[in-house]
Structure 1
Amino acid sequence: MKVVRFHAPGDVRFEDAPEPGAGPGEVKIRVRNCSTCGTDVKISRFGHHHIHPPRVMGHEIAGEIVEVGDGVDGWSEGDRVQVIAAIPCGECAECRRGRMTICPDQVSMGYHFEGGFAQYMVVPREVLRVGGLNRVPAGVSFAEASVAEPLACALNAQNLARVGVGDDVVVIGSGPIGCLHVRLARARGAARVFLVELSRRRLDMAAEPVKPDAAICAGETGPVEEILRLTGGRGADVIITAAASGRAQEQAIRMAARQGRISFFGGLPKDQPTITCDSNLIHYRELTIVGANGSSPAHNAEALDLVASGAVPVADLITHRLPLESAIDAFGIVARGEAIKVTIEP
């Protein structure tokens, strides 16, 4: 079979690999869609400390079961499924407390296990053990199902930031995750959702489908001042930084309303992990700052339901559909910001 495999930073190959079989406790799937994200670009360029090459990449996975291993109950050939990316152990102190997103023993598809940029792949027993193989609801395409994984991450973040009815929400960053945040905030009852982006081209591309209440180009105007103007000087109830930008995090604090909640969704580069903040703003305005780290199996299942119900549409966010042999080209498309969401169809 054909795969896209990471060998070293700057060395990702489209090549042949033996077709796997399902062992005890595993299922084998025919991959129908594996969508790309910025993490794939970073891995292709710089590698990752959890990846020991060679490794098949790809972690936003949907497909159909073609083989069921011994000891697996409840699954059959032909079942349409979505696979979680981050796999908690299910046994540690955090998992037992229901905090699976911060499992210290978490492993991941495309990192510790072979990923979805392949014609076939094995879903390991670790995924099945924590309920991480989800049925794709009727009416949801494989491409849409593959986007459930990043939507699940957005859902975790918005739960932690308590996005709810009547909130003014700012999303900083108009990539695919920013677009999902806009639509999810609307589904949760936000009064207004504002989208902020440094690049005019990327902002316009995202704003056309998701239609925020205001699209603010940070390269042309001060986003803090504009959010304060739009909110009558009050500020926003929730700000989500869906960008790897320390400046965006600093701006988020300054544009928050009293008792506002700020989600640092996008992590910062390892060589620039710190920001400067006015601690008195946090103190006197009673602000809450939360992180967000991936998603749990339950978040993935809920994300699929949100897509199936139409509460969070994702099909129109998939702007590029490419064959497996073009996956490496897809990384360039993502890096250059030429797409909202790129999905690979092996």
Structure 2
Amino acid sequence: MRRYELVGRRDIRLVTDAPVPVPGPLEVLVRVRACTVCNRSDLAYYHYYGEREHCAQGCFGHEVAGVVEAVGPGVTRVAPGRRVFVRTPLTTGYAEFALAREIAVGLLPDEVPFEQGAILQLLPLAVHATRGVRLGDRVAVIGQGPVGLMALRMAALRGASRITAVDLDDWRLDRSALLGADTTRRVDGSAAALREVADGVDVAIDAVGTPTTLNACVDLVRQNGLVVMLGTHHVDTHVTLDLVTWERKGLRVHSSAEPLDTARAEALATAERLVRSKELYLPELLTHTYPLEDLPKAMEQLSASRALYPDGEQAPYDGPPHRTLKVAVVP
């Protein structure tokens, strides 16, 4: 089969005779119909392979949708021929086939195109990230990339009374308004600008993953408010926080992580119900589609991003890629 492999920093190579994985116990083999590029993890792995230890450990190409090709012993939830999306596979989705654990596979309705279905890998993250949002809460979401937009949508569905969307880019903020933001704020990314976004929100969600955005969330929330770490700190892996401020405000914090398989299963079940409800606005998130052999072009397009550079470093870009959200790669 054809498969792309990340072999070095900014070095991906297409293998044309890779073996098709064989599913073991409780594993599922998926014929990949689409794999979307993760705007944070995949790009960080691509740009920092060999420079950040964790960038050689994650699965490069992990947002997959396709059809079950075969199942291993003990699999009961899905059978060959079933349309599915995958929450982090065992092997790359930049290939014709990908292997996944049964517990990481969600059911994909017939009416959802595979290119949009692959985006659903983000949904369990957004489900976990917004689990502390209560009916009537005022919520600020910093960063309106794909995962930030998904978190915004989940906050709206959970009954937030007012949602403020924050980003560097006006075009992305237009998408925010479509997905349910009550207020949109364009900022220049500086700490001073972020502090002026809102006053005393109940929940502040960092959907970027930089020291500046995380500290801004600490400033934005009210006394005893909730700070959510949704954006992954792949580039700036160490973040300094003012713990005196944290203690004085009595803040709570959680991440979007799924530490247990039970949590993963619950989030996937929730995701399946949400997909059936047609409340996710998936077409607004998908902006480009490339054939598998053009994965390097997709990586180049998404790499024009300020978020790929350390927070305090001069970057060649002022914001995110132009008019780009999710990019799907199709075998």
TM-score, reference length from structure 2: 0.82
Counting matched residue pairs gives 304
Closer, same or farther in 2 for the Cα pair 1:187/1:21, shift >3 Å?
same
Closer, same or farther in 2 for the Cα pair 1:175/1:24, shift >3 Å?
closer
Query: What residue number does 1:277 align with?
Result: 242
Deviation at 1:14, TM superposition (A): 2.5
CA distance in 1, matches of 2:75, 2:110: 23
Residue identity in the other structure for 1:185: A
Deviation at 1:23, TM superposition (A): 4.3
Closer, same or farther in 2 for the Cα pair 1:71/1:165, shift >3 Å?
closer
C-alpha contact (below 8 Å) 1:56/1:117 kept by paired residues: no
Query: What residue number does 1:90 align with?
Result: none
> Any unmatched runs of 5+ in structure 2?
305-320
Query: What residue number does 1:17 align with?
Result: 17
Kindly, what percent of the aligned residue pairs are identical?
25
Q: Indicate which of 223, 236, 258 corresponds to 1:258.
A: 223
1:171 aligns with 2:147: no
Identify which of structures 1 and 2 has the higher relative contact order when contacts are C-alpha pairs closer than 8 Å and 6+ apart: 1
Deviation at 1:326, TM superposition (A): 1.6
Q: Indicate which of 143, 148, 154 corresponds to 2:126.
A: 154
Deviation at 1:226, TM superposition (A): 3.5
> Any unmatched runs of 5+ in structure 1?
86-108, 229-234
Closer, same or farther in 2 for the Cα pair 1:244/1:72, shift >3 Å?
closer
Closer, same or farther in 2 for the Cα pair 1:305/1:239, shift >3 Å?
same
Query: What residue number does 2:35 align with?
Result: 34
Deviation at 1:17, TM superposition (A): 2.7
Query: What residue number does 1:292 align with?
Result: 256
C-alpha contact (below 8 Å) 1:5/1:56 kept by paired residues: no
Deviation at 1:51, TM superposition (A): 7.0
Closer, same or farther in 2 for the Cα pair 1:255/1:81, shift >3 Å?
same
Q: Indicate which of 168, 173, 183 corresponds to 1:214.
A: 183
| Secondary structure, aligned partner of 2:141 | strand
CA distance in 2, matches of 1:242, 1:317: 15
Query: What residue number does 2:4 align with?
Result: 4
Query: What residue number does 2:209 align with?
Result: 244
Q: Indicate which of 291, 299, 306 corresponds to 1:331.
A: 299
CA distance in 1, matches of 2:99, 2:252: 41
Query: What residue number does 2:96 align with?
Result: 119
Closer, same or farther in 2 for the Cα pair 1:204/1:292, shift >3 Å?
closer
1:191 aligns with 2:193: no
Deviation at 1:32, TM superposition (A): 0.9
CA RMSD of superposed structures (Å): 2.6
| Secondary structure, aligned partner of 2:208 | coil
CA distance in 1, matches of 2:283, 2:267: 19
CA distance in 2, matches of 1:205, 1:3: 36
Closer, same or farther in 2 for the Cα pair 1:203/1:20, shift >3 Å?
closer
C-alpha contact (below 8 Å) 2:209/2:229 kept by paired residues: no
CA distance in 1, matches of 2:217, 2:264: 26
Residue identity in the other structure for 2:275: V
Closer, same or farther in 2 for the Cα pair 1:69/1:207, shift >3 Å?
closer
| Secondary structure, aligned partner of 1:319 | strand
Deviation at 1:56, TM superposition (A): 7.9
